Amino acid sequence: MTQVFTLPDLGEGLEDAELVRWLVRVGDTVAVDAPVAEVETAKAMVEVPCPFAGVVAGLHAEAGDVVAVGAPFVTVEAAEPAASGSGNVLIGYGTSDAPVTGSGRRALRRAAALREHRDPEPAPVTPVTASPTHPGPVAVASPVVRSLARTHGVDLRTLVGSGPDGLVVRADVERAVRGTAPTAVEPAPGTVGPATPDGPGTAPAGTELAASPRPDVVRDERTGLAIARRVPLRGVRKAVTTRLTRSRQEIPEATTWVDVDATRLVALRAELATPDRPAPGLLAILGRFVVAGLARFPELNARVDVEGEEIVHLEGVNLGIAAQTDRGLLVPVVHGAHALRTRALDAEIRRLTTAAREGRATTADLAGGSFTLNNYGVLGVDGSAAIINHPEVAILGIGRLLPRPWVVDGEVAVRTIAQLSLVFDHRVCDGGTAGGFLRFVADAVEQPTSALLDAADL
């Protein structure tokens, strides 16, 4: 029996995913729920399990392709359908008889639409193979490697990997950028690539470069400048664009800020360090203050149901932590942050941000936040009017901690000062509520021992 496995919805209504690499080849035998590919969605790196058992007869994409949800992904020659009781069920497909809801319905509708446009008789499956002009899937393990290649416009399929089993590693991409890497194929005529001693972009020894513009240079229609490269708007960057655009279109946001004296907070953190237990991070301590503040000002721990014309207030806090990564801005979420004390919150923040930066964060790690905390001070800036992480209604940021002159008891002293900024949705509250929350957090930063004692945290 020939069965075609279509790409499922990998979470929260995602519409497509970029194929990073195949984990199987045509002719391989796969078991039910065995991973067959690694894909990169707008949320995270995901291994895709196949719901069918049998022999792989066809692979319908190549590394680097963007595959739509519901499109054919893998063809399997199977003796029988997948057995019930499968463990790795993804949204939009599976082996249980449970009803499909929400984003799963969207995936099924998309798959049905694709089936309606297919020929009555299925075309024979052509395995994906490499050729001298179209190399096959490349083995790339690290998201950092893919990000570096995209940044410099390097086609990974043209590289010869120096890692185990031909794995393309960072050094291979860096050599390609310098123009010293061996390639699997020659660039097509007219392709702009790294300059080599006798390659495009260099002149033979003893000659001068022509002063006139090169006729083969593609120029921007608006500015007339040469186009250096084009970066596809997809994956994380596409998700960020969509979410932030929607945030600015839907949310009437306002920003308020305050400078705080964090001298005592820095000193308290140093006191919390012991020989066998490092001190919790400042972000974790600030997170505790945020959770306590949201308990007093619950309007900021909510979301707006536009269709239902309601403000939905939430019990408990799922605290998002904005993290800059090689894949772009990600917001891993500490679920149930209100139930964690400072050291536990610190451990979870470190685990999640590390996973996000290494490309190991799951879709669950990156979803479901109710309030976001942003430490833009690590970027070397003092303030920011951040964009709210839709559909949340507020985001709190902290800038650099710097020594500055500050009036204490009528005298000028050098203190550690930082700026807190709160961006909030004016639909859920007015400035009094937002200012009250911000002042609560600021007071806690300036008197951290009392704030933590009130939270039974010490």
Give every strand in the sheet of 2-6, ordered side by side: 2-6, 72-77, 54-59, 29-30
Radius of gyration in angstroms for the set of CA atoms belonging to the chain, rounded to a whole number: 27
**Residue 40's closest CA among 168, 153, 146, 123?**
146
Residue of 275, 290, 239 whose CA lies nearest to 398: 290
| DSSP E strand stretches across 89-223 | none
Largest CA distance in the chain: 86
In angstroms, the CA 458 to CA 450 distance is: 10
- Distance in angstroms (rounded) separating the CA atoms of residues 327 and 360: 11
Respond yes or no: is residue 338 known to be catalytic: no
Q: How far apart are CA 268 and CA 4, in angstroms?
A: 60
Instruction: Give the count of beta carbons closer than 10 Å to the beta carbon of residue 125.
Output: 18
**Quick one: CA dihedral 406, 409, 411, 415, positive or negative?**
negative
Strand partners, 183: 159
* C-alpha pair distances (Å), 281 with each of 34, 299, 312: 39, 27, 31
Give the CA distances from residue 172 to residues 136, 137, 169, in Å, rounded to whole numbers and listed in that order: 17, 16, 5
Helix, strand or coil for residue 405?
Answer: strand
Closest C-alpha among 186, 195, 192 to residue 159: 186
The CA distance from 280 to 448, in Å, is 13
| Contact (Cβ atoms closer than 8 angstroms) between residue 96 and residue 32 | no
β 371-375/319-321 pair status: parallel
The 10 Å Cβ neighbour count of residue 31 is 11
Please confirm, yes or no, whether 335 is among the known catalytic residues.
no
Asked if residues 30 and 84 have their Cβ atoms less than 8 Å apart, the reply is: no
Structure-block tokens of residue 58:
């066809």
Active-site pick, 134, 152, 313, 426: 426
Q: Are 356 and 411 in contact (CB under 8 A)?
A: no
With H, G, I as helix, E, B as strand and everything else as coil, classify residue 19.
strand
> Among 259, 430, 443, 454, which one carries the catalytic annotation?
430
State the catalytic residues: 426, 430
